[in-house]
Amino acid sequence: MPTTTDKTELLARLLDALGAPGAAEVLAKRVLELALDVAGGVLGVIRLREGHDLTARAALGLDDEVTDRFTLPAATALAGMEPTDDAGVVFLSTDPQTAVWSKPMRDLALRAVYALPLRPPLPNSEASNTESLLGVIYIGAPKPLVMSTEQRAFLGTIATHACAALSKRHAIEHLEQAIRARDDLLAVVSHDLRNPLNV
C-alpha cells in the first residue's frame, strides 16, 4: 500500500473526483482511474444500474464495452465471484465463463476480474442484496493481484463515496431531464393558447 503521502494524494484525488462537475460518466471514469491505481489493476469498467440491468458507462482499456453498451442483469453482477475478504468489499472471478466477463475481457486473456460493488451501506443481513446495487467497478488483471487489507479497505471507502456521489449525480440528471420535459410541454401549451386552431 502507498505511503502516508501517497494516501493523502489518493484521498485528495477522490475528493476532487467526487466534487467535479459533469455527467455521471465523467465521475465514473475518475473513480475508475482511482480504483485502478489503488488495486494495481491494468484495466477496468464501471457498469451502472439502468432498470434491472447494469450497463457499461465508463472504461479504461475496455472501451469496447462502453461502445457496445454491454449490459448484464443486476442479479448476476457478482455471480460466480468469491469475496476476497470477510467484509465482502472486493470479489474475484478467475473463470472467464461467468456472466461478469465480457467478450473484450476474454479477448484480452485476462486471468482475474475483481468486482467492487457500489451500494449504500447496509446492515449485514442485507449486504448481498442486489436490489440496492447502484453499479459495480470491475478491475481486470493479466494475473491475480495481491491486495493488502489496507488496499481493500481503501477500495471500500472509494466504493462507498462513489456510490453516494453517483447516486446524487444520477438524481440530478433525472431532475434536469424532467425539467426539460416540463419546459417543452409548457412551450407547446403556451404556443397553442396564443395561436388557437380555427375549426
For the record, the C-alpha cell of 65 comes out as 464495452
Structure confidence by residue, pLDDT tens digits, 97-112: 988 998 889 898 899 9
In the chain, the percentage of residues whose pLDDT exceeds 70 is: 85
In angstroms, the CA 91 to CA 115 distance is 5
For the record, the C-alpha cell of 170 comes out as 444520477
Residue 49 has pLDDT above 60, yes or no: yes
Model pTM? 0.80
Q: What does the pLDDT average to over 10-34? A: 76
Q: Are 75 and 130 in contact (CB under 8 A)?
A: yes
Report which DSSP code applies to 42. S
Compute the mean pLDDT over every residue in the chain, rounded to the nearest whole number. Answer: 84
CB atoms within 10 A of CB 15: 11
Report which DSSP code applies to 125. G
From residue 14, alpha-carbon distances to 10, 22, 57, 99 in Å are 6, 15, 19, 30
From the list 108, 95, 102, the residue with the least C-alpha distance to 138 is 102
pLDDT at residue 87, as a whole number: 76
pLDDT at residue 123, as a whole number: 60
Structure confidence by residue, pLDDT tens digits, 58-70: 999 888 888 888 9
pLDDT at residue 114, as a whole number: 94
| pLDDT band at 47; cut points 50, 70, 90 | very high
pLDDT at residue 125, as a whole number: 45
In the chain, the percentage of residues whose pLDDT exceeds 90 is: 30
Find all residues with CB under 8 Å of 14, minimum gap 6, and list them: 31, 34, 157, 158, 161
Structure confidence by residue, pLDDT tens digits, 116-134: 999 887 665 444 566 788 9
Structure confidence by residue, pLDDT tens digits, 144-174: 898 988 888 889 888 888 888 888 887 888 8
